[in-house]
Structure 1
């Protein structure tokens, strides 16, 4: 087998793990399954990820990084916090929720798996801490760039945004209805803007 740099191999395996998890869920995804998906020997995979938990953490990191990239790409930070909230949350839904139910189900499953696995509870906490940190970052930058203030702390605003989006996503994957989801997202965004009570 040709030599592949560790960073490339790491990414290759994480991509394969995400595909396997989205398709079959955690219960049906073993290290052997991921190795087959990635086209690498099981021993190679275990050298990069010695345990399933290490691999799942890398998958969560990958998902959070993707979310951060989408938020950064869709957030007009130079147009104020309200515009950033409206544009970014709509962009997030378009890029990562609409038509991506398996991705969202995988994320919920990773959370519940960590919470139900003794010794892995920290992974679920870390997952949500990362979500909140990412959202806090772009809301804070948008406000500060425009010289605006927010009525509540940015970390609290981020927690509310994550909680609300989580609820909308869960309803959508249980009962997909794009039209209803768009309307509900619009109402949620309006609510967040009112809550932020932005002052320039």
Structure 2
């Protein structure tokens, strides 16, 4: 077997785990199934990830990284906070929700698994806080780049945004009606823009 750098091997295993999770769910994601998907010996997998919980934690971190990358790619942060909210929500919904039912189920299954597994409660908290932190930093960056302020603390805006998006996602997963979900997303976007009420920093540009 050719030598593979540890960082590359880790990424290979995480990618394989995500594929197994989307296909078989958390219950069916065993280390043996992941090793088979990655086409590596089980011993190699155990060396990189000694336990399934460590592997699931790595997957959770990887998905959060995807969300951060998506938000950074779909919106020009120099356009201000309102544009970031509108563009970010639209882009996230189109790419991660409409085009990613399997991944959404994985995220919710991972959260439930963490809440139900003694010793993994911190992962559940990290999953929610991780998404909130990503969104809050992204909103702050957009506002500051445009010389704006936000009417509420950025972490408050981010928590409300994440909570509302999660609610719409659950509705969409249960009943994927594109017209209804688009209308609900538009209404939620207006609510969040109003909550943020971005305005120029006093004295900026004067």
Q: What TM-score do the two structures reach when normalised by structure 1?
A: 0.98
Q: Distance in 1 between matches of 2:100 and 2:145?
A: 32
What is the Cα deviation at residue 150 of structure 1? 0.8
Match of 1:76 in 2: 76
**Structure 1 runs not aligned, ≥5 long:** none
What is the Cα deviation at residue 53 of structure 1? 0.5
Q: Distance in 2 between matches of 1:177 and 1:4?
A: 45
Q: Where in structure 1 do 4 or more consecutive aligned residues deviate above 6 Å?
A: none
Match of 2:95 in 1: 95
* Pairing 1:178–2:168 present: no
Match of 2:138 in 1: 138
What is the Cα deviation at residue 19 of structure 1? 0.5
Match of 1:166 in 2: 166
RMSD: 0.7
Secondary structure, counterpart of 2:150 in structure 1: coil
- 5 Å matches for 1:185-200? 185-200=185-200
- Deviations 1:100-151, CA, capped at 9 Å, x for gaps: 1110011000001000000110000011111011000110011111111111
Match of 1:153 in 2: 153
Asked if the contact 1:80/1:148 (under 8 Å) is kept, the reply is yes
Match of 2:11 in 1: 11
How many residues align? The count is: 200
- 5 Å matches for 1:53-64? 53-64=53-64
**Structure 2 runs not aligned, ≥5 long:** 201-206
What is the Cα deviation at residue 99 of structure 1? 2.4
Secondary structure, counterpart of 2:199 in structure 1: coil
What is the Cα deviation at residue 183 of structure 1? 1.1
Asked if the contact 1:75/1:138 (under 8 Å) is kept, the reply is no
Q: Distance in 1 between matches of 2:174 and 2:99?
A: 13
Match of 2:204 in 1: none
- Deviations 1:167-186, CA, capped at 9 Å, x for gaps: 01111111111221111111
Q: Distance in 2 between matches of 1:104 and 1:88?
A: 17
Match of 1:104 in 2: 104
Asked if the contact 1:16/1:37 (under 8 Å) is kept, the reply is yes
